[in-house]
Amino acid sequence: MAERKVNLADVAQAAGLRTPIRHQLFIGGQFVDAASGETLATLNPHDNTPIADVALAGAADVDRAVEAATKALPAWRRLAAADRGRVLLKLADLIEANAEELARLESLDTGHPLRDSRALDVPRTAACYRYFGGMADKFQGETIPVEAGFLNYTLREPVGVVGQVVPWNFPLMFTSWKMAPALAAGNTIVMKPAEVTPLTSLKIAELMREAGLPDGVVNMVPGLGTVAGQAIAEHPGIHKIAFTGSTATGRKIVQASAGNLKKVQLELGGKGPNIVFDDANLVAAVNGSAWAIFHNQGQACIAGSRLILHERIADAFLDKFIALATSIRLGNPLDATTEMGPLTSQLHRDRVLGYVKVAREQGGEVLAGGKTPDGDLAKGCYVEPTIVRAKSPRDRIAQEEVFGPFVTVLTFKTDDEALAIANGTDYGLGSGLWTMNLPRAHRFAREIHAGMVWINSYKRVNPGSPFGGTGLSGYGREMGFDAMREYTQVKSVWVNVDAQIPPWYPR
Ligand code: NAP
Ligand code: MG
């Protein structure tokens, strides 16, 4: 055992946890230390105190995990689909039975307000496993009407051993989006959680074991992206890699996957346009736009981070929007009345604050926030809700993903101008628009470069509805039937049913 620098029991008690915090790798159904014995502390972003020293996987541990996943694959893929589904359904029940524990652990490690972890992260995680648990035996091949005398049908087979690398912004939920369809389809998994937020992934591994998931079907290797993540992306024993994170890392994954031509699925950054037309219901648009950017401290790839306002309503909208933003209750995520917590790491907080400087340098006007709060919260990773008016849609703050509680305001006069601004980045993930004009709403839904469009709403997700992007936001889709297609490959089977002796060439 590696030496513990933190007293886990004290930390757990202070956070209201009832069960032990898991801090080891999960390989072949066992919690184990890293081969090197190395650990890395995961911190509480509320005050930057250590929570736990977590085993740090290296390439040797990834090898062990791939070995376990390879060994587990034949039996898991041959299991009746309904029986794989049953394990996922049991897991969904266990997640609900442990909801408060998971919510507290997620809030402690990530800074998500407890009210969000309770109301969104945990229920959505359970719903995802339940949806794909039910999907397992309903996803099927086809029979195809080919030439006379032949039966042609397709099999949907698992891809094999799947590597999954996830970020720190929604660790509990994102691991379910990746693991649930992969498992329903009969794959086995080597997953790397983000180095700053490994705790709920390890807890899920414990619950998976309790749900009866066979050893080795899921392996968790928390570690550094450049070490464990890179080892997964390069590994010749891994047949597919699914990644969520930055566009820069996505590119590295594609390059690393070239060795054995892994199948790649990428869910990358975004710069979500959120357009408010002059006929919008302003109260709904103000509330929805605040949700679009400030939920989860703006750390969402689909965040509505470009607020594109019709000139005629811009001032009225901003008055209300600024009033709402400055009234948001910032505080300790474990306090159930907190509406906005800290960013998930100090490094990231500094990156977000760096964009306030960039905004000012390019002539942007800070309308609210733009700094860390004073007082007690100053020692945590907090940033006040920040609203900045950009001079031009070409400014860096209107082009680059900030990934924080930072919204860039732009204005337009005509529909064409609004569309040009909305489509004026290289990203294409989430998008939203607020209007009562039905033809306009559908026209924009058709013309916007994005994977998701929310009309008179923003940031809705559901396990049945496809999620993913275009352009630099990546490719492939999570959720729904599309996710099952991503985690399977089609085999076409030809049967000569008339049992004729086939001729060589007609002579
Ligand atoms: P990131 O570097 O892309 O991290 C995402 C995941 O990839 C983490 O698990 C990371 O490990 C791992 N990783 C890093 N380098 C790798 C490599 N060479 N090979 C394989 N895996 C690797 O993102 P980040 O640094 O956490 O955040 C930076 C920016 O990414 C954010 O500001 C935001 O713009 C964007 N982002 C987008 C999303 C999204 O949902 N689309 C989520 C998070 C971040 P470590 O934990 O060790 O870094
Ligand atoms: Mg942490």
- 233-272 pLDDT, tens digit per residue, is 999 999 999 999 999 999 999 999 999 999 999 999 999 9
What's the CA gap between 483 and 487, in Å, rounded?
6
Residues 329 and 404 in one domain: yes
Residues 312 and 413 in one domain: yes
Average pLDDT, the chain: 97
478 counts as catalytic: no
Residues 325 and 250 in one domain: no
Residues 450 and 478 in one domain: no
Task: Give the number of the ligand closest to the Cα of residue 191.
Answer: 1
Q: Copy the structure tokens of residue 256.
A: 């690393």
Among 112, 249, 296, 470, name the best residue to mutate to test ligand 1's pocket (greatest count of ligand atoms within 8 A of Cβ). Answer: 249
Structure confidence at residue 306 (pLDDT): 98
Give the atom of ligand 1 at the shortest distance from the alpha carbon of 224.
Answer: 47
Pocket of ligand 1 (CB under 6 A): 165-169, 192, 194-195, 224-226, 229-230, 233, 244-246, 249, 252-253, 267-269, 301, 401, 403
pTM of the model: 0.97
Question: Any residues with CB less than 8 A from the CB of 261 and at least 6 apart, and which?
Answer: none
Instruction: Name the percent of the chain in helix, strand, coil, to the closest 5.
Output: 40, 20, 40
Residues 253 and 396 in one domain: no
Structure confidence at residue 5 (pLDDT): 64
Residues 70 and 137 in one domain: yes
Percentage above 70 pLDDT, the chain = 99
- 217 lies in a domain? yes
Structure confidence at residue 2 (pLDDT): 45
User: Mean of the pLDDT values across residues 302-326?
Assistant: 98
Among 38, 112, 234, 246, name the best residue to mutate to test ligand 1's pocket (greatest count of ligand atoms within 8 A of Cβ). Answer: 246
Structure confidence at residue 506 (pLDDT): 78
Which is catalytic among the residues 301, 384, 401, 486? 301
- 385-398 pLDDT, tens digit per residue, is 999 999 999 999 99
CATH number at residue 114: 3.40.605.10
d(CA 50, ligand 2 centre) in Å: 8
486 counts as catalytic: no
Which is catalytic among the residues 267, 384, 401, 478? 267
- 500 lies in a domain? no
Asked if 51 and 345 touch (Cβ cutoff 8 Å), the reply is no
Percentage above 90 pLDDT, the chain = 96
Residues 261 and 367 in one domain: no
User: Mean of the pLDDT values across residues 93-99?
Assistant: 98
User: Mean of the pLDDT values across residues 481-499?
Assistant: 95
What's the CA gap between 203 and 102, in Å, rounded?
8
Q: How confident is the model at residue 4 (pLDDT cuts 50, 70, 90)?
A: low
Quote the domain boundaries for residue 353.
273-455
- 99 lies in a domain? yes
CATH number at residue 371: 3.40.309.10
